[in-house]
Structure 1
Amino acid sequence: MISVLLIAAALAAVAVHLGTAGLVLWRYLRPAGEAAGERPFVSIVRPVCGLDRYDAETLASTFALDWPDYEILFCAARAEDAAVPLVRQLIVAHPDRAARLLIGEDRISGNPKLNNVVKGWRESRGGIVAIIDSNVLLPRDYLDQVMARFDRDTGLVTSPPVGIRPDGFGGALECAFLNGMQARWQLAADQLGHGFAQGKNLVWRRDVLDRAGGPAALGRDLAEDVGSTKVVRGQGLKVRLTRRAFAQPIGDRHLRAVWDRQLRWSRVRRAGFPALFMGEILIGPWPPVLALLLAGAGGWAVPMLLLWYAAEVALCRVAGWPASARDLVAMIVRDALLAPLWVATFARRGFEWRGNAMGETEETKA
């Protein structure tokens, strides 16, 4: 009887994996989406902090959107920030776009990103306000894809990042976490009507966040992703994801940096959605492999693994995500790290981000 249950559990895990991959494949085989009806004035707020390898390209993409009327508000906490000269150059190079650079920091929370963007929120004029991280590469139809997902029940449209252009194995490992695992789960959940906010792209109906108290309301949780999801759901509205995720050029990554970043996000998930986080120990192919071995059906382990990774590679190829032999090895290494990451998450609460200690508020702990 126990063997039957173990085999059933393994088959269920495989079915969930194939099902989530299938749901995302379905999204990518359909049109990306186009805004229906009027194209409203939109405010885009892009916080900058330091200068990364691809920032000139990603920030410049903000000026090339195929949308009739929008403003761009760049936000820097300090005038001496390394990104400020680049932003000024981009504004001068695109005089046809309404773009401004805002400098200063308002301590509305323990989250430095919120402290940076709040001035952009206050200065913005649009009924739709997009807060987009500096390392996200925007396609020309970005706003079309976003606005296609708004309806009367939607308070926020968002998108997980998908990694592109990895250099070295560390970059490939980062993409493996972002794409075939995190983006797959988030897009599949949205396909089933359970969207979760992702801080890389937060496109708000202004009235929704204003009713909650503005950006300061997002500082009640360990990260703005969790706070955004709670704010929207608390008003009986939906978080929806764009049909296709937006790209983030990755480049090179040190393996320790990949681990630290994934550990940080893991602690955010644990603090924000503890019940869901507890189930993460079962994600990946190794729990069902162990179940098969314990059930005496170890001969099925290799075919199961082949099917498991074939589904992920197929998804990545259709979606246009990295899917080379190196990327396959990165997927296997990623899955080997899932259990150690889950365990390490319990070592302590909070994390350090850009030199800032990010701890939980009393409300988060509750």
Structure 2
Amino acid sequence: MESVDFLLFGLAILIFSGWCFSVFLHFLSIIYGKWLLHRSHPDVVFEDLPGISILKPLVGIDPNLFENLESFFKMKYPNFELLFCIQDEMDASRMIVQSLIDKYPKVDAKMFLGGRNVGINPKINNMAIGYEAAKHDLILISDSGIKMDEDTLVDMAVYMTPNVGLVHQMPYTCTRKGLASTYEKVYFGTQHAKMYLSANVLGINCAVGMSCLMRKPILEEAGGLHEFGQYLAEDFFIAQAFLDRGWRTKVCSRVAQQNSGSYSIPHLHQRLCRWMKLRTAMVPGTSMFWEPISLCINLGLLNAWAVSFLFDISPLSYLLVHILIWFLLDYTMLTVLEKGSIPFSKVDYLVCWCLNEISYPLLMLQSHWDPIITWRGRNFKLKWGGLVEELYVKQTV
């Protein structure tokens, strides 16, 4: 009996320590976000900024594509080029790009059609020709759904110091209409922001490729962009290649403003499931063990038992206090990203926060149950280590 009590005591200490660490990460991400985000750079000498080649992979259009692409033509930066990589000659995005090139003739912009098959990753294939044509040593890969402020390139270039090989933006979202937009903001501004910022403080590779500036010569040392066509999560492996060669990666002070015109809660859930499946294949320990118990409800239930065992505290009372603390810390994190008050009501925040906390554990179970990834209309089967193979549907006549 004493041995059982000792084991339970050890388990309770372990769970309580995990709770303390999670709360520490919350405070760490808030403090770091307050220190890092929304900085200005008034002392930057424009003439000293390096040239940047911006790769924009495009497939299809959405209602906000013109607005998003135009924000890059309006960038205040002394030397950059826009390289639009369009998968198919008949793609409707080609007309939008051409109209912007005609509207801004002074901007160095080119279109590349068709791509090249260098691997299994459609995005890498799409960018292959544009990457080879890039004339600058700094490459920015930027997804079509990203909208940029006019000073964002300056901000990213400032963080590209001599010992830094890759600068990335923390994913966030623009303010749009509807509950789905609010839900996206709550997810990316709370749970995801805490993970992203604290991981960067601790030196953990979590670079996201939706907006990522990197040194082309170092990428060439790693085999060039086509080398990463064998992975779906090419951003993780590109960042790891820089780290393995002794280069640092940094997150800059401007967030990546996702501004897709087509958005919904089911669509976000599909994205989250896809990312979970990729993390399970690449970093299974984090995805399968730490991530599930770091969630508010899961950790709260576990620690409710732990504190009742250790300190004789009512589990229900503790759980309510735990949820309140988590809720307030998440709200504070969101205001840090917004640099002030949130752009929706506190009731909307409460509804979306609860929806995220309830649905996320279910999405994790779904991601483990079905390992197949559907992306851009194609199906892929993941292998351990992040490698993938495409699944082809047999057609009968």
Give TM-score, length-normalised by structure 1: 0.92
Deviates more, 1:249-258 or 1:346-355: 249-258
Could you tell me how far apart the structure 1 residues matched to 2:25 and 2:216 are? 36
Give the letter aligned to residue 341 of structure 1: L
Cα 1:29/1:47, change in 2 over 3 Å? closer
Match in the other structure for 2:29: 20
Give the letter aligned to residue 219 of structure 1: G
Match in the other structure for 1:153: 163
Could you tell me how far apart the structure 2 residues matched to 1:311 and 1:323 are? 17
Q: Report the CA distance between 1:362 and its aligned residue.
A: 7.1
Could you tell me how far apart the structure 2 residues matched to 1:251 and 1:98 are? 26
Kindly provide the CA deviation profile for residues 194-240 of structure 1, in whole angstroms up to 9, marking residues without a partner as x: 34221101211010111111111222323212221222122122221
Cα 1:250/1:309, change in 2 over 3 Å? farther
Give the letter aligned to residue 358 of structure 1: F
Q: Answer yes or no: is the 8 Å Cα contact 1:42–1:130 preserved in 2.
A: yes
- Residue 364 of structure 1 aligns to a residue in which SS? coil
Could you tell me how far apart the structure 1 residues matched to 2:383 and 2:19 are? 38
Q: Report the CA distance between 1:322 and its aligned residue.
A: 4.7
1:358 aligns with 2:380: yes
1:315 aligns with 2:333: yes
1:106 aligns with 2:119: no
Q: Report the CA distance between 1:72 and its aligned residue.
A: 0.8
- Residue 165 of structure 1 aligns to a residue in which SS? coil
Q: Answer yes or no: is the 8 Å Cα contact 1:158–1:240 preserved in 2.
A: yes
Kindly provide the CA deviation profile for residues 163-191 of structure 1, in whole angstroms up to 9, marking residues without a partner as x: 12243222222222222122332123223
Could you tell me how far apart the structure 2 residues matched to 1:70 and 1:23 are? 30
Could you tell me how far apart the structure 1 residues matched to 2:207 and 2:237 are? 9
Could you tell me how far apart the structure 2 residues matched to 1:152 and 1:35 are? 16
Percent of aligned positions that are identical: 23
Kindly provide the CA deviation profile for residues 299-336 of structure 1, in whole angstroms up to 9, marking residues without a partner as x: 12223222211122122223216553213321221111
Could you tell me how far apart the structure 2 residues matched to 1:116 and 1:34 are? 37
Q: Report the CA distance between 1:292 and its aligned residue.
A: 4.0
Give the letter aligned to residue 133 of structure 1: D
Could you tell me how far apart the structure 1 residues matched to 2:176 and 2:201 are? 28
Q: After superposition, where does 1:81-92 map in structure 2 within 5 Å?
A: 81-92=91-102
Could you tell me how far apart the structure 2 residues matched to 1:63 and 1:107 are? 29
Choose the corresponding residue for 1:324, options 345, 365, 374. Answer: 345
Choose the corresponding residue for 1:290, options 301, 307, 310. Answer: 301
Cα 1:230/1:185, change in 2 over 3 Å? same
Cα 1:363/1:186, change in 2 over 3 Å? closer
Match in the other structure for 1:280: 291
Kindly provide the CA deviation profile for residues 11-48 of structure 1, in whole angstroms up to 9, marking residues without a partner as x: 44333323323322222375478756821121111111
1:43 aligns with 2:53: yes
- Residue 51 of structure 1 aligns to a residue in which SS? coil
Cα 1:18/1:298, change in 2 over 3 Å? farther
Deviates more, 1:16-25 or 1:307-316: 16-25
Q: Answer yes or no: is the 8 Å Cα contact 1:42–1:71 preserved in 2.
A: yes
Choose the corresponding residue for 2:368, options 346, 359, 366. Answer: 346
Structure label with greater radius of gyration = 2
Q: After superposition, where does 1:1-366 map in structure 2 within 5 Å?
A: 1=9, 6-28=15-37, 30-31=39-40, 38-250=48-260, 253-278=263-288, 279-294=290-305, 295=308, 296-320=314-338, 322=343, 324-325=345-346, 326-360=348-382, 364=386
Match in the other structure for 2:391: none
Q: Answer yes or no: is the 8 Å Cα contact 1:129–1:206 preserved in 2.
A: yes
The alignment covers a number of residue pairs equal to 366
Could you tell me how far apart the structure 1 residues matched to 2:99 and 2:326 are? 47
Could you tell me how far apart the structure 1 residues matched to 2:42 and 2:127 are? 28
- Residue 328 of structure 1 aligns to a residue in which SS? helix
Could you tell me how far apart the structure 1 residues matched to 2:126 and 2:79 are? 24
Give the letter aligned to residue 147 of structure 2: L
Could you tell me how far apart the structure 1 residues matched to 2:197 and 2:44 are? 20
Q: Report the CA distance between 1:363 and its aligned residue.
A: 5.6
Could you tell me how far apart the structure 1 residues matched to 2:42 and 2:192 are? 22
Could you tell me how far apart the structure 1 residues matched to 2:325 and 2:383 are? 43
Give TM-score, length-normalised by structure 2: 0.85
Q: Answer yes or no: is the 8 Å Cα contact 1:167–1:251 preserved in 2.
A: no
Q: Answer yes or no: is the 8 Å Cα contact 2:57–2:126 preserved in 1.
A: yes
Could you tell me how far apart the structure 2 residues matched to 1:89 and 1:75 are? 15
Q: Answer yes or no: is the 8 Å Cα contact 1:55–1:134 preserved in 2.
A: yes
Q: Answer yes or no: is the 8 Å Cα contact 1:221–1:360 preserved in 2.
A: no
